[in-house]
Each structure stands twice: as C-alpha cells, then as structure tokens.
Amino acid sequence: MTSRVYRLHSTLELPLEDVYDYFEDPELPPEIEDVDITRRNNTLIISAVSGDDSISKYTPTAQLKASVTENRVYEEDPDAEPGGPPSGRSNGGGSPQWGAFEDEEEEIESELVEYACFKGDRETVLQNTALQYPMFEVLCQVAGEAEKGTLTAIAVVDEDLEAIRIVDGEPKPASITVTEDPNEEDGANSVNWRDNEFIS
C-alpha cells in the first residue's frame, strides 16, 4: 500500500525569498527528481518533476500552491527598551513640548516583504494525485522553515495512520481520535429523502 494524505490543513506563511532560497538546494524524496517553480501574478506554484519513466510527461504531478502577499515589516530599534516606546517617540517626561517632539521623532524603518502563504485544505495547497505523498513530505520540510503558521495532516504511512502537526517551524505531538459517525446511529429513525414516495 502506498502512502497517502487524507486530511491536510495549512496556515503557513514565510518570506518568498526564503522559499526560493530553500529550493536552491532542497532535500527531495527519491520519487521527485526536481521541482519547477512558477509564479503567475500573485500565485506561486511548485510542481514535482518525476524521475520515474513510468509516469507520463502528460500526467499532472503534485504541486504546492501558495498565494503571494505583501506585508510591511518594521525594523526593531536596538535602543528601545522591551515593552517601552520606540526610541525617538518620547520626549523624556515633563511638560509636553509639541514642536520639539515632532522634530525629534524618527520614523521606524520598514520595508515591503513578499510572503508565500500556503493556506487552505489539501485541495487548495496540495494538488494532483501523482507523487502527492512525496510532495507532502516537501511541504513538511517547507513548514519546518516557516516561522509562522501551522500544518496539520492525517496520512497513511506503511498502512499505519499518522498524525502530523508542525507549529511555527517546530514539530509538535499529535494524535488521531476516532469517533462514531452520528449518521449511522440515527439512520434507522431518520427520513430517507432519496426513496420517499411523498417527494417527486
């Protein structure tokens, strides 16, 4: 039985530059020879390139899909005290001196940084069936590089269910809870809408 991903949810965010840097020399599963990275407007697509000749070149291989957004990142002031106002924002107490305060006030430097956001469920983040599980392993490696966001998944590995949870780049303990489907218990007492003679 081949490994498969059944449930997946991702809220990963990491700088687009970090994604490109990671894929310059990634540790790819043996089933994946290489990856193709394509950007279409505000969408980043990372596609698996198979090293297996039995997979037709016309077969869509698994791909990771992320939206690209811009976030303003502010530089931290090394002179500012933790929890206190940033340097240049206070006039040192005493009576307000509005003119002097405006002259001394310095803007905190910032820059616009593009982020790759791998957000959504399996059909949104991890698409196509061929090489899907190896590409999921690549996504787990990307999650290890992300400083923000969570990746949770349920997969079958060597016929065993496995729970995966990575939070802010760190693997966390995860478990699977099996519950009964309430529809099975209530089925005998519920109305069968499909075979109801009163509904035409």
Give residue-wise pLDDT tens across range 145-164: 998 999 999 999 888 889 99
H helices of 44-173, in order, are 98-104, 122-125, 132-145
pTM of the full structure: 0.73
Q: Comparing C-alpha atoms, which of 49, 47, 48 is closest to residue 39?
A: 47
48 and 62 Cβ atoms separated by less than 8 Å = yes
**Phi/psi at 134 (5° precision):** -60, -35
Q: Please count the other Cβ atoms lying within 10 Å of the Cβ belonging to residue 198.
A: 5
pLDDT mean over 9-30: 95
The lowest-confidence range among 69-78, 134-143, 161-170 is: 69-78
The residues, ordered by sequence, that sit 6+ positions from 60 with a Cβ below 8 Å of its Cβ are: 128, 130
Q: Which pLDDT tens digit goes with each residue over 54-99?
A: 788 888 999 999 999 998 888 775 445 455 444 444 444 444 555 5
